[in-house]
Amino acid sequence: MRGHELLMIPGPVDFEPEVLQALGAPTTSHVAPVFIEVFGRALERMRAVWQCPSGQPLVVAGSGTFAMELAGANLVVPGDRALVISTGVFGDRFEDLLSRHGAEVTVLRAPLGGVVEPDRVEDELRRRRFKLLTVTHVDTSTAVRMPLEPLGDLGRRHGVLTVVDGVCSVAAEEIQQEAWGLDVVLTASQKAIGVPPGLALLVASPAAVDAFAARRVPVRSYYADWGKWLPIMQSYEARQPSYFGTPAVNLVVALGVSLGRILDEGLAPRFARHALLGGAFRAGVDAIGLRQLPLGEKARANTLTACYYPDGVSGPALLAAIGRAGVTVAGGLHSEIKDRYFRIGHMGAIRAAAILGTLGALETGLQEAGHRFELGAGVAAAQRALSR
């Protein structure tokens, strides 16, 4: 029975019943006063969750890749130079995307499992003038988390727009968009925001909106054009009816509910909960003897864990055994090592029970697969970490 299973992949995640109920409510007109109020309030709540009081929020139907497109298509004019910081598959995706929009892209690629040090970024920014830099806060293919604060600072000092792919971090890992000087922080609904897939979300700083306004070349994507969407967002916030493309009414209602819950929990307690649960999960896999992909504790995200399969253990067989125990986890994604590792998501509404249950299922699967370890060691280590 699906309701008693755990979906522990790095998105989509398990969603709160209250959010799913909101999704199932009768659809209203996109210009009904009740919906205008809900959408307006959701936009205001985004500003609070992103910690960007002077930012412009945008909500458009699409996946996280479309949120990337919403940033790239509007900020890049053909010939602009862009610096992409890549710690995995999703950093590389930005290279491809920005090139498509005519940018001359330079990529600073981290070694597998590592981060790109801010000094390397600064060297590059000193060498040439860039219009924007992009960074993947948590790359879901490697579970590597990049420090954002130094990059915001570098961006400000070098007059470069900073674009953060926060698809696997917003509302789970700390981001202070305005205080850290980040120009665009984008995400999608299906991860720590806690709403089923289908919404591309971002908040743009005044500098990013100004850079868009200053462009003399039309945006090459019609659907992604901020010129179409900004007036719509402003209308909803002013509680006025407007239309460009039909919004995903039910998803936006669900978004309003989920953002409300995030703010009720409080941002600092929410980040602390993810750090505690993520740390407990990592303590568990360490105790079982699994090697993690990110190099060093500082590079490890709190939203997901990536581990290599132990020698002699078949990946597909292990994932199937974990599944039989009632937990779904994800295989590898990074092309270099795709079949050698797996990923466990732990973000959103989850509590300690999901961490302990997943480690238990993982231990059961590893034992079936013949991995030698002390049965129960992972769960015990996580429990110790949780009670600290």
Stretch of 79-87, 133-141, 279-287, 316-324 lying at the interface with ligand PMP (CB under 6 A): 133-141
For ligand PMP, the binding residue among 136, 177, 302, 303 (CB under 6 A) is: 136
Least distance to ligand PMP, CB of residue 361, Å: 22
Contact call for residue 140 and ligand PMP (CB under 6 A): yes
Stretch of 24-32, 110-118, 134-142, 364-372 lying at the interface with ligand PMP (CB under 6 A): 134-142
Handedness of CA 43, 49, 52, 58 (dihedral sign): negative
223-229 contact pairs (CB < 8 A, 24+): 223/60, 224/60, 224/66, 224/69, 224/70, 224/73, 224/74, 225/73, 225/74, 226/58, 226/70, 226/74, 229/58, 229/60, 229/70
Residue type, 22: A
For ligand PMP, the binding residue among 80, 92, 165, 173 (CB under 6 A) is: 165
Least distance to ligand PMP, CB of residue 258, Å: 16
Task: Compute the distance between CA of residue 325 and CA of residue 345 in angstroms, rounded to an integer.
Answer: 17
Contact call for residue 188 and ligand PMP (CB under 6 A): yes
Cα–Cα distances (Å) from 148 to 91, 106, 145, 173, 384, in that order, read 14, 19, 9, 11, 30
Nearest to 145 by CA among 9, 300, 16: 300
- The residue among 136 and 302 lying less far from ligand PMP, judged by its C-beta, is 136
Contact call for residue 95 and ligand PMP (CB under 6 A): no
For ligand PMP, the binding residue among 85, 154, 167, 249 (CB under 6 A) is: 167
Least distance to ligand PMP, CB of residue 142, Å: 10
- The residue among 135 and 361 lying less far from ligand PMP, judged by its C-beta, is 135
Show the binding pattern over residues 51-90: x = contacts ligand PMP (CB under 6 A), - = does not. ------------xxx------------------------x
What DSSP state is assigned to residue 107? E
CA-angle at 238, arms to 182 and 75, nearest 5° = 30
Least distance to ligand PMP, CB of residue 136, Å: 5
CA 230 from centre of chain:
23
- The residue among 144 and 385 lying less far from ligand PMP, judged by its C-beta, is 144
Residue type, 362: L
Residues that bind ligand PMP (CB under 6 A): 11, 63-65, 90, 136, 139-140, 165, 167-168, 188
